[in-house]
């Protein structure tokens, strides 16, 4: 099974479950429908190969990895989000892992790994704020309503670690104030003088304040 941005590598293992395959196809089509909005928020068109999907028969959380220059998402064909109706199915699963794929070139910069999560190993406050910013954009476009957008925001707040909540709220405030702030932030990271931003956890507060100043005067 192929779409513009995704390739399911091992669908043959599940072809006998026609209902599950049908729901998966619908799910991929739904994600493809809002893929341009992720690009819009990020500020860059996806210019890499398809994201490979490796299916399993689990229902729990998927996993994103990057191996041999390939984006891979391992996910269950029975994941609870695939079973939901659109647009409620835009909560997590492949949608969330796609945000990781977008961030990979920014996180890994010339061998230096950037940490946008303030040293918090769990909770992913930055990736979640990216995802939430896409929800804000989808709300502005009328794809999702305000209730669903707020429901997703509250789900983030419930799932994120308590230590990382303040940072998540800080990012959300930065990007919800002006959705274009996210793409401005990404472009700011690409500038040569900023190559070392967020590569030293001891400088995290200083680095995030530099971003705030930039966004304020942009």
Q: Given a cut of 90, is residue 61 above it in pLDDT?
A: no
DSSP string across 117-152: STT--SS-HHHHHHHHHHHHHHHHHTSS-HHHHHHH
Which of the listed residues 41, 76, 109 is the one where a domain comes to its end?
109
Whether 8 and 62 have beta carbons less than 8 Å apart is answered as: no
- Number of domains forming the structure of the chain: 2
pLDDT in the model for residue 12: 95
- Quote the CA–CA distance of 102 and 64 in Å, as a whole number: 11
| pTM, to two decimals | 0.94
pLDDT: is 33 or 162 the higher one? 33
89 and 121 in a single domain? The answer is no
pLDDT tens, position by position, 142-175:
999 999 999 999 999 998 888 889 999 999 999 9
What is the structure's pLDDT at 137?
Answer: 97
Check whether residue 24 and residue 73 sit in a common domain.
Answer: yes
**Shared domain check, 35 and 11:** yes
pLDDT at residue 217, rounded to an integer? 56
Whether residue 149 sits in one domain with residue 70: no
Which range of residues forms the domain containing residue 163?
Answer: 112-218
Residues 135/155, Cβ–Cβ less than 8 Å: no
CA-based nearest residue to 26, from 85, 93, 72, 80: 85
Residues of the chain above pLDDT 70, percent:
98
158 secondary structure, DSSP code? H
Same domain, 12 and 90: yes
Section 195-213 average pLDDT: 92
CA distance 1 to 67: 21
Both 66 and 104 in one domain: the answer is yes
Do both 202 and 180 map to the same domain?
yes
Provide the mean pLDDT of the chain. 93
**Domain end: 109, 135, 163, which one?**
109
Q: Which pLDDT value is given to residue 112?
A: 79
Percent of the chain with pLDDT over 90: 82
H/E element, 51 = strand 51-56
Shared-domain flag, residues 124 and 83: no
Distance CA 97, CA 52 (A): 11
Which range among 43-47, 88-92, 191-195 shows the weakest confidence by mean pLDDT? 191-195
Please give the residue that has the higher pLDDT: either 123 or 19. 19
CA 52 to chain centroid: 16
User: Is 89 found in the same domain as 74?
Assistant: yes
Specify the 3-state DSSP secondary structure of 189: helix
Tell which of 109, 139, 174 closes a domain: 109
Q: Do 102 and 153 fall within a single domain?
A: no
Residues 129 and 87 in one domain: no
Residue 59 pLDDT: 78
How many Cβ atoms sit within 10 Å of the Cβ of residue 97? 22
Residues 165 and 73 both lie in one domain: no
In this predicted model, what pLDDT tens digit does every residue of 128-144 receive, in sequence order? Answer: 999 999 999 999 999 99
């Amino acid at each position: 099974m192929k779409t513009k941005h995704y390739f399911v590598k091992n669908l043959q293992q599940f072809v006998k479950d026609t209902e599950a395959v049908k729901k998966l196809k619908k799910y991929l089509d739904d994600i493809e429908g809002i893929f341009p909005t992720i690009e819009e928020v990020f500020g860059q068109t996806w210019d890499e190969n398809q994201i490979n999907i490796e299916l399993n028969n689990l229902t729990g959380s998927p996993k994103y990895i990057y191996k041999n220059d390939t984006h891979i998402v391992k996910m269950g064909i029975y994941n609870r989000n695939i079973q939901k109706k659109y647009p409620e199915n835009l909560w997590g699963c492949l949608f969330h892992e796609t945000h990781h794929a977008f961030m990979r070139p920014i996180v890994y910069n010339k061998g230096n790994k950037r940490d946008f999560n303030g040293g918090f190993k769990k909770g992913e406050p930055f990736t979640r704020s990216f995802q939430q910013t896409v929800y804000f954009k989808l709300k502005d476009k009328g794809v999702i309503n305000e209730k669903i957008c707020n429901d997703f925001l509250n789900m983030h707040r419930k799932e994120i670690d308590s230590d990382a909540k303040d940072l998540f709220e800080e990012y959300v405030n930065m990007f919800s104030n002006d959705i274009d702030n996210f793409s401005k932030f990404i472009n700011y990271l690409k500038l040569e003088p900023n190559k070392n931003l967020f590569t030293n956890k001891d400088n995290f507060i200083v680095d995030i304040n530099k971003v705030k100043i930039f966004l304020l005067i942009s």
